[in-house]
Amino acid sequence: MSATKRPKRKADDEQNRVLTPPKPFTDDNRRKVRACLNSPGISTTPNNNNQDDTNSINSMSINSMVSNNTNTQLLNKGRRKKMYEQEMTRLNHSFAQWSHEAELQMTNYHQSQSGTNNTNNSKTAPAPKPTPLTPSDFSLLPAVQQYLTAARAIALNYHPPKFQMLTFGSGDCGQLALSEDVLESRRPKMVNSVTARVCSVACGGLHTVLAYERSGKVEVWGCNDHGSLGDCGMVGTGWLPMTMRGLIPSSEEVVGPGVLEDATKYWGDLSSLEREALTDPQKIRALSNEWDEPIRMVSAGDCQTLMLSVTGRLYFCGCYKDKEGKMWRDSAPPDDPRVLHPTEKLRGIVAPEGSQDWPIHLHQMPGKVEGISCGASFNAAIVLLKRNDDDGQASGMQRSCVTWGFGECGELARPVYSPLKTPEGEFHIDKARDQYLLPQPVIWADRALTNTHVVHNIACGAFHLLVVAKDGEGGPLNVYAAGLNNYGQLGLGDLDARKELTKISAFDGSNISEVAAGVHHSLCLDSSGRNLYGMGRGDSGQMGITSERPEVGFNKELPVSIKISDDRPVIQKISCGGNHCIALLDNGDAYSWGYGDLNQLGHGVEQDEYSPRKFDPVFGINRKRAKDGASPLIAKIEIIDGGGQHSAVTICSSIV
């Protein structure tokens, strides 16, 4: 912010003096001030040095300019805009007045240092020497920061932040929720019906699911060919979000009383008339919303949807497909009265075969669920289980990992019966129900961990499983892997599949705390958030370590370091889509890389990215707002998730 000369007037008084900034106001200060003024969204804490000195530049106090006495939400748009302009005019007038006084102060100090006098009257007694000042007294940064803070407060008062969801990528099956006419989006676009803060988002193969933070309500959209949307198969494709209903727990859960919090309603609380009315699952919509348990976390696979309630109960809809494409599903609890499928031709298919077209409570979960993840056709969950000591006696609870679904490449990390199909073409239904579809604890290659491990995090790839765990409460964090390893996605230094959780020795001492997994690649992030690693397939840029297209089949069998940017920012969250990656920084910025031919990277071009590249979720929105003469949005990304062919982010946005 450099000074410029103004033409002198005849009355050359102090208010019209041409000023030259004193030497203490360096080029570095100018650069910092310019950066602050160009970044109105930054909220910083003003420097409080010399706060009590009324003659100091840093003593500026303009926070009183912000008015909080009016409930601006009750005002119409025109009135709110007018009051906002009035408040900003007052703030700008206050800042201009302060700037003039600060300018005079700097000039007087500069003149006193050079030995000049402010008057030509030689008879006047010399003025006393000014109080010694330091270079920090001439720093404009605190004042500029205070101004920006006040301006930001005024903007938030009259333009409160909004919570929105944006989707991008392929939407030919409705997974973008942008209407039936929008089948793809090169840049993030708003899902208009989502206007409240979301606590969890999951992008599946061809569908999307979210849970709202305050209400716990679940909304779903996209492909519904196999029950992924849980609406009883009445809709083939959900082009717009619709509410999931029927999230009601069973009193027949195997964990027994006292382990989970009591739910508001159970199926057993239905009256005989209600039970009779709800024998058809489509009639569940007749029940009040208060019957549904609030959901705090969601996950989605190729065709299945999982929903975790605030009480630690888990719900499921959709199906699992085996390698031949046959559909399987979890069994409904015995007290669930919904027995008849709305579609006549599907009424004769009995679980565990077929698809689950409405949500059911997974009553066979062995404990309270604390985390979930979906693979292509299998699931993993962090569950609180009873811990046994060496004598087999219960000795408290431990965070364990259980798996279920159709994992035929070792991704269940435990032994299962194979093959399920007999030479005569029949299936061992009982084996499928009791071994594959019954949630059971994983097996650790190091058997010593069986009773001492504490699971910290989990991630399901399409056909592999990653688990972060400690050996005891005070042990270091280690990463374990199982499942398909044809591109080295397990990070074990070879291409051999594993059927038990095997420790990734390359991460010893790395303190990995978060993992994510795609079809044939994996990401691992350490607890500092500054060190990101990848392993597995990278011929579409998934490893993020090349400047040009890698050769076909390019892979890394051991973890490699991925650099987001030169300044090594703190990464808050990572996500893997089918063949792409997304990283969310602690400042709300997001980077994506990998396969991008379906626009799932959000950069506006149909191309792969071979190294992390930042994308702006509101770039396209602000370009349109600029054409309409509207103020731009500033946005901070809160949640990221990648799916098979699309991605989604949620943002907190406000008007500049």
What would the 3-class secondary structure string for 245-311 be?
Answer: CCCCCCCCCCCCCCCCCCCCCCHHHCCHHHHHHCCCHHHHHHCCHHHCCCEEEEEECCCEEEEEECC
* Among 10-14, 145-149, 546-550, 580-584, the range of highest mean pLDDT: 580-584
Tell whether the model's pLDDT for residue 630 goes beyond 60: yes
Structure tokens at 525: 């992030």
Ordered alpha helix ranges (H), 387-537: 429-431
pLDDT at 125: 57
Which position has the token pair 């929720």?
177
Architecture of domain 162-655 in this structure: 7 Propeller (2.130)
Least-confidence region, from 117-126, 236-245, 299-308: 117-126
Q: Would the pTM count as exceeding 0.85? A: no
The 10 Å Cβ neighbour count of residue 636 is 17
pLDDT at 468: 98
User: What is the band of 388 on the pLDDT scale with cuts at 50, 70, 90?
Assistant: low
pLDDT at 132: 59
Least-confidence region, from 122-126, 150-154, 518-522: 122-126
Across residues 92-100, what is the average pLDDT? 83
pLDDT at 149: 85
CB proximity list for 439: less than 8 A, separation 6 or greater: 362, 364, 365, 366, 381, 383, 402, 403, 404
User: What is the band of 87 on the pLDDT scale with cuts at 50, 70, 90?
Assistant: confident
pLDDT at 268: 87
User: What is the band of 138 on the pLDDT scale with cuts at 50, 70, 90?
Assistant: low
pLDDT at 187: 95
Percent of the chain at pLDDT > 90 equals 58
Across residues 545-552, what is the average pLDDT? 94
pLDDT at 58: 43
Top pLDDT among 434 and 631 is at 434
Tell whether the model's pLDDT for residue 126 goes beyond 70: no
* Among 140-154, 158-172, 599-613, the range of highest mean pLDDT: 599-613
pLDDT at 379: 98
The 10 Å Cβ neighbour count of residue 209 is 29
Q: Rounded distance, CA 579 to CA 117, Å?
A: 73
Mean of per-residue pLDDT scores for the chain: 85
Which position has the token pair 């109080």?
131
pLDDT at 16: 36
Q: Residue 222: name the closest of 345, 342, 304, 323 by CA.
A: 304
Taking only the tens place, the pLDDT of each residue in 64-77 is: 444 444 555 556 77
pLDDT at 397: 85
Taking only the tens place, the pLDDT of each residue in 346-384 is: 778 889 999 999 999 999 999 999 999 999 999 999 999
User: What is the band of 490 on the pLDDT scale with cuts at 50, 70, 90?
Assistant: very high
Question: What is the DSSP secondary structure assignment for residue 65, as one 8-state letter?
Answer: G
pLDDT at 7: 43
Rounded to 5 degrees, what are φ and ψ at 281?
-60, -20
Sequence-ordered strand ranges (E) for 86-138: none
| CATH 2.130.10.30 domain extents, the chain | 162-655
Q: Which residues pair with 212 in a beta bridge?
A: 198
Strand (E) or helix (H) holding 28 = helix 27-37
Rounded to 5 degrees, what are φ and ψ at 655?
-90, 135
Could you write out the DSSP letters of every residue in 156-171? HHHS--EEEEEEEEE-
Across residues 407-433, what is the average pLDDT? 94
Taking only the tens place, the pLDDT of each residue in 572-589 is: 999 999 999 999 999 999
Q: Is 650 helix (H, G, I), strand (E, B) or coil?
A: strand
Across residues 433-451, what is the average pLDDT? 93
User: What is the band of 55 on the pLDDT scale with cuts at 50, 70, 90?
Assistant: very low
Taking only the tens place, the pLDDT of each residue in 142-154 is: 788 888 888 878 8
* Among 30-34, 269-273, 585-589, 646-650, the range of highest mean pLDDT: 646-650
R_g of the chain computed on alpha carbons = 31
Taking only the tens place, the pLDDT of each residue in 174-224 is: 999 999 999 999 999 999 999 999 999 999 999 999 999 999 999 999 999
Across residues 465-488, what is the average pLDDT? 95
Q: Rounded distance, CA 212 to CA 226, Å?
A: 24
Q: Are 563 and 612 in contact (CB under 8 A)?
A: yes
pLDDT at 459: 98
